[in-house]
Structure 1
Amino acid sequence: MKKTIIICIAAFQLLSCNSKKSQEEDNTVSIDSVSTNNEIDPIRVFEGTLPCADCNGIQTVLKVNIVDNNFELTSIYEGKSPEKKIVEKGNLNTEKGLDKDKDGTIYILNWDKPQTEQIYYGYYSNNPEKLYRLDRDKKIIKSQLHYFLELNE
């Protein structure tokens, strides 16, 4: 009788260990598939040259950290003597909805400062790699000039 109980306990422990290991392996597989397929890098870098009224263009790099809700915006005014470089860091907030795209996203740079110091960029949900500079009303600037940055992968 004691041998039967010991064998049952041993079998139960063995099965529970295998069951636990199997669950851990399953979790690892699902975590790996999520991280490689569905996870977005928390730091996104957009680059491009924006139009400039009194220079050759504004070489712009925008780094957004969507986890920590902050940004770094670097602007170099090309063709100025000497070239003017401005680096701005601050807090970031997001809003849903860009034009008629309810799933589009708007980045509000310096959202915690007065509206006159806020800067707006946004992208459509079907093309998150193209980030448009927005006007004070959070609308895309309608122009033949290129008011957008592209995701640097």
Structure 2
Amino acid sequence: MRKIIILAFASALIASCNSKNSKDENNAVLTDTIANNEKYEPADTISVYEGTLPCADCEGIETILKIDVADNTFQLSSTYKGKQPEKNFKEKGNINTERGLEKDPDGTIYILNWDKPEKDQVYYGYYSNNPEKLYLLDRNKKIIKSNLNYFLELNE
């Protein structure tokens, strides 16, 4: 729905260069598009994913990952549950995006800390048909095959 609104707005903007009459007509189309949707909102640029990742020596790593695609930044919060005292780590940095996750050419891979040495980079990705499930990836940018849950879910 948001894509339709953005496309309608972009079309109106491009067509407005043609003439004043075209501008008036396109504004009417944009107004109609917005009026037919319950609520007009600009495209969200921040996605928040949450979940508990497996941990070798604790009950699990409670993880919150905020990705801002407009600024190409991330915030990662990890809390090691069952540790005394609980250990909490927060990290901020830059991300880069790649297309293609395994056999899905339209999948997306986020490279956290892409501007740092490879040993400091972390990879997450999602399939194009299920962007609500963000998988932690291995060093080869592949989904970790396990019976354990190596994924976060989109918090809406």
Instruction: Pick the TM interval, shorter chain.
Output: 0.7 to 0.9
Deviation at 1:28, TM superposition (A): 2.8
Is residue 24 from structure 1 mapped to residue 31 from structure 2 by the alignment? no
Deviation at 1:41, TM superposition (A): 1.3
58-67 or 23-32, larger mean C-alpha shift:
23-32
* Corresponding residue number in structure 2 for 1:50: 53
Is the partner of 2:61 in helix, strand or coil?
strand
Of the three residues 81, 85, 90, the one matched with 2:88 is: 85
* Corresponding residue number in structure 1 for 2:118: 115
- TM-score, structure 1 as length reference: 0.81
Is the partner of 1:28 in helix, strand or coil?
helix
Deviation at 1:27, TM superposition (A): 2.6
Report how many aligned residue pairs link the two structures. 137
* Corresponding residue number in structure 2 for 1:130: 133
Is the CA contact (8 Å cut-off) linking 2:134 and 2:151 kept in structure 1?
yes
Is the partner of 1:63 in helix, strand or coil?
strand
Is the CA contact (8 Å cut-off) linking 2:34 and 2:40 kept in structure 1?
no
Of the three residues 141, 149, 153, the one matched with 1:150 is: 153
Two-structure CA RMSD over aligned residues (Å): 2.6
Query: Quick one: which amino acid aligns to residue 108 of structure 2?
Result: T
Gaps of 5+ in 1: 1-16
Query: Quick one: which amino acid aligns to residue 101 of structure 1?
Result: D
Is the partner of 1:82 in helix, strand or coil?
coil
* Corresponding residue number in structure 2 for 1:14: none
Of all paired residues, the percent bearing the same amino acid is: 64
